[in-house]
Amino acid sequence: MRRAAAAALLVLATAGTADARMVTEHDAHGGTRAELSYDRRGDEFNRSYRDFSLKIFEDGVLAFERDLTSCCHGYQPARFGRASSVTVRNLDGGAPEVLVDFYTGGAYCCWLTLVYRQSGNSYAHSQKNWGPKRHQLTNLGGGSPEFISHDDSFLKPYGCNFCWHYLPHVWRFDAGKFRDVTRRHPAQVRPLSRKLRRKYFRASGRGDDVKPIIAPYVATTYLLGKPRTGWRLVHRALRRGELVNHRGRYDFCPCGTDYPKHLRRFLRTTGYR
C-alpha cells in the first residue's frame, strides 16, 4: 500500500514538472526576424517564466541579442505562450520595429511593451507601461498603426475599483517615442463620453455619488475639444449639492467647492487641459 502511494506521488511530481522546457516565440516582417526565448516551468495551474532573451536577425544574420532577465524578472509573456508575445511591425514608416509584450503580474497588474528599433549598427530600446488594461495595436485609417490604451490616472483621486472608468487613449510610436494622438481620433473617445453623461444623469436622479463619473467625463470633453460642455455639468452638480462626500458607498473627496478647483489642477497635470 505504501509503495503504491509513493508511486502515485512520484507520478504527480513528475506531471507537475513535465512542462519545464525552453520556449522560443518568433515573428517576422520583411527581412527582419525576432525570437523571444525563455524557460517555462510548472503546469497550467502554476506556471513561471524566467531567463528571457531576445534575438533579432536581419536577412538571416544575427544583428542584435539582449538578455532581458534584469528588466523582466518575474514577468510573464503577455500572451502566456498561447500566441507569440514578440511582434515585428513597421510603426513609423522606417525599418521594422520589434515589440515584446509582458504582463508584470502583482496585485495591481500591468502590461508592458518593449520596442527595439534600428539605430546605427544596433537597436535602441523604448518602453511603455500601459497600466492594468492591455493595449491593442491596430490601424485606425491608413499609414502607421496605433496603440489603443486606457488611462487609469482617475482611480486614486476620483473613484474606486468598482466605480471608476478607463479613458481610451491613442498612441503612435515615432522616432523612438510614444506620442499621444488621442485628439486626432475623436471616434475612440465619443462613445465613452456619451455613456458617462448618461450615467451621470441616472446617478443624479437616484441620489448616488456622481464625483467618480464627472471627472473622467470632463476629461473626455477636453479630448473632444468641447470642455465647456463638461464644466456645465460640474456647475450643475455643484448647484444641486451633489459634490458632497456622503452620497455613495465608496465615497471620495475632494468635495464641494474644492472639487472643481482640484479637477482643474488634475486635468492640467495629466495633460488633458
pLDDT digits (tens, 9 = 90+) for 138-153: 999 878 899 999 988 8
pLDDT of residue 13: 38
pLDDT digits (tens, 9 = 90+) for 45-78: 788 899 999 999 999 999 999 999 888 888 999 9
pLDDT of residue 7: 37
pLDDT of residue 180: 96
* Cα distance between residue 167 and residue 190, in whole Å: 11
Cell numbers given for 66: 539582449
pLDDT of residue 252: 65
The β-bridge partners of 179 are 172
> The pTM is what?
0.83
Q: State the pairing for strand pair 76-77/86-89.
A: unpaired
Neighbours of 21 (CB within 10 A): 8
- Residue stretches of the chain with pLDDT short of 50: 1-18
pLDDT of residue 10: 34
Q: State the pairing for strand pair 136-138/167-174.
A: unpaired
Question: What b/e string do you get for 64-93 counting C-beta neighbours within 10 Å, with b at 16 or more?
Answer: bebebeeebeebbbbeebeebbbbbbebbe
